[in-house]
A and B are shown apart, each in its own frame.
Chain A
Amino acid sequence: MDTLIEGSFHIVGGDFSNAGKASTELKTILTNCGLDIAKIRRAVIATFEGEMNIIIYAVAGTITYEIQNGKLLITLQDIGPGIKNIELAMTEGYSTAPDWVREMGWGAGMGLPNMKKNADIFKINSIVGEGTTVEIIINLY
């Protein structure tokens, strides 16, 4: 099956004023595609967590999405500090976010675990000093 939809968003690190904008736009796109509401919710929650990680930790990043062969693939790739210990970062409640980020309602250490929770397939790859790439796949059928 050919790709039904695809697109991307560019995210700027530190841009809290637009936090969540890409994810809410993705929700509109997926809703207009007529996808199942529960699957859309899982997809955009995972995307929002990733979007926030880029804004909080990275210099910049991109979010790409595509629907192909009954699967929704979302890839979040950033240029940033990378993650030293992915296993630790996947622990619920573990966070390296500074206090000012927590005061804005983020950085509770639930981002990566929540992305995994909402994905059917979750992959993460990170190189310290270069950046992090997360792939999320949600089965649509």
Chain B
Amino acid sequence: MLLKEIISALEAKTIVDFTTEPNKDYHWVCATDLMSDVLFYSTCQSLLLTGLAKTQTIRTATVADLSIIIFTRNNIPDDETIELARTKGISLFVTPFSTFTASGKLFTQGLQCCSDVNFTEED
């Protein structure tokens, strides 16, 4: 699913956008508020769907090589968090839907949970 299709499906608004590959296909989603789960289960090809709009979310995404975060239920991060995302080159979007509903919308479009997939290191 292309990012623009994901953004459209979630009726999401752009906070900061550093994406350079508009036609990149996304297959995996990491949907959680637990940053420990992000570190344990995510792959660098996932996009992060979360309600936790804090600086630690940006740092977690940075460490896990996740370049796109979609905040759910209109949880717009504060200026410090947005500025940190800018310095790390992480794109931020916000959707009015809850994490549950947003996950459902993406699931029905064929996206899968990142923890359901076994990746090798080279992936």
Contact = CB atoms under 8 A, between A and B. Distances in A.
Given A17-B55, A44-B63, A117 B35 contact: no
B63 A24 contact: yes
Interface residues of A, number: 30
Interface string B21-37: 00000000000011111
A19 B121 contact: no
Interface string A57-88: 00000000000000000000000000000000
Q: Is chain B's binding surface mostly helix, strand, loop or mixed?
A: helix
A105 B61 CA distance: 13
A110 B55 CA distance: 20
B59 A19 contact: yes
A20 B62 contact: yes
Given A16-B56, A17-B55, A38-B122, A24 B62 contact: yes
B34 A23 contact: no
Given A27-B63, A41-B64, A44-B63, A20 B36 contact: no
Interface of B: 33-37, 39-40, 44, 52, 54-57, 59-60, 62-65, 88, 121-122
A-B pairs, 9 with minimum CB distance: A20-B59, A108-B36, A105-B35, A110-B36, A38-B121, A19-B56, A110-B40, A44-B63, A48-B63
